[in-house]
Amino acid sequence: MTNPLPLGRPVRLGTRASPLAMAQVHLAADALCAAHGWHRDAIQIVPVTASGDKVLDRPLAEIGGKALWTKELDQWLIEGHIDAAVHSMKDVETLRPDALEIVAMLPRADVRDSLVGAPSIQAIPQGGRLGTSSPRRAAQVKRLRSDIEIVLFRGNVATRLARLERGEAEATLLATAGLVRLGEAGVGTPVSVEDMLPAPAQGAIGIETLRDNDAVRALIVAIDDAPTSACVRVERALLKGLGGTCHSPIAALAAMEGDTVRLRAEILSADGRERVAEERLLPAEAAPALAEALGAEMLVQASPDLRALFTP
């Protein structure tokens, strides 16, 4: 016997249609079924093509930023075509529409980036090319290896790996979590967070609903991993304080240590020559507010040129 459907019909989970997003929505569906004792047909998966997946020849930052990943899903939620949307938290804008709320996050996966094409950043050949469209990854690599040339790599994980295979760059960096979820765990070598601090919210999957839909919220909140939610909220609060955009090289990682949150954060100039880095132990309760204040403080430490990267 499996439990009856509380909405009287399957729960409709919206997702981007990319292979990574599809793998992630299945993780969310599995978690919901396990938590509620449902059979898998209690969930209906609804793929929605995001505008961010349609334009592949220009940097995301230029064509409209992170909103392009969520715009269609936001609209489907608000119009009631889906009950919840599953997101890579890394791709979710800092400021969300008032009607929506991220109510749960799955346990966070590996937060590290993986280097593909070379065993370490040091081992990339002199003057070699690194394919990425991430201002953070570009700046962090430039900081370690100013000789490396950055070439624009957009598209999904498979596209980027294919471009590397074709010799369009010597190396690329991808989120380890994404590689693992796509069954490509053996591809690449994880880079330590000491060498390369990840993007805020990297490795976290969030589920968003309509703030006012109590029935759906109650179902989704059951799968929330509290430490992941707490840490990702702190990283996103820092982003809010920085007021960054997709143009802005920002890295941040929060981790629970008992009743405190260890927050590491850095902002960099595009060439990696300037860096403002901070590490703080914050009491958990006040951590989001303190992280937001830290973001503003980091901007004060930055040169006018670096600060300009954070003014939209």
Ligand X SMILES: NCc1[nH]cc(CCC(=O)O)c1CC(=O)O
Binding site for ligand X (CB under 6 A): 88, 90-91, 157, 174-175, 177-178, 202-204
Nearer to ligand X, 60 or 290 (CB): 60
* Alpha carbon distance 265, 236 (integer Å): 11
Helical spans, DSSP H, in the chain: 19-36, 60-63, 67-78, 135-144, 157-165, 176-181, 214-221, 226-242, 287-301, 304-308
| Residue 30 annotated to the active site | no
Nearer to ligand X, 12 or 90 (CB): 90
CB of residue 245 to ligand X, shortest distance in Å: 14
- CA distance to 70, 164, 171, 178, per residue, from 90 (Å): 12, 23, 22, 11
* Alpha carbon distance 146, 148 (integer Å): 6
Pick the catalytic residue: 74, 83, 91, 224?
91
* Alpha carbon distance 103, 132 (integer Å): 31
* Alpha carbon distance 229, 149 (integer Å): 36
CB of residue 59 to ligand X, shortest distance in Å: 12
* Alpha carbon distance 87, 77 (integer Å): 13
At 161, the amino acid letter reads: L
Nearer to ligand X, 158 or 289 (CB): 158
Nearer to ligand X, 203 or 244 (CB): 203
Q: Coil, strand, or helix at residue 240?
A: helix
Sequence-separated (6 or more) residues with CB below 8 Å from residue 279? 262, 263, 264, 265
CB of residue 148 to ligand X, shortest distance in Å: 18
* Alpha carbon distance 59, 55 (integer Å): 9
Q: Using an 8 Å Cβ cutoff, are 145 and 202 in contact?
A: no
Nearer to ligand X, 203 or 241 (CB): 203
CB of residue 177 to ligand X, shortest distance in Å: 4
CB of residue 58 to ligand X, shortest distance in Å: 15
For the annotated catalytic residues, the residue numbers are 91
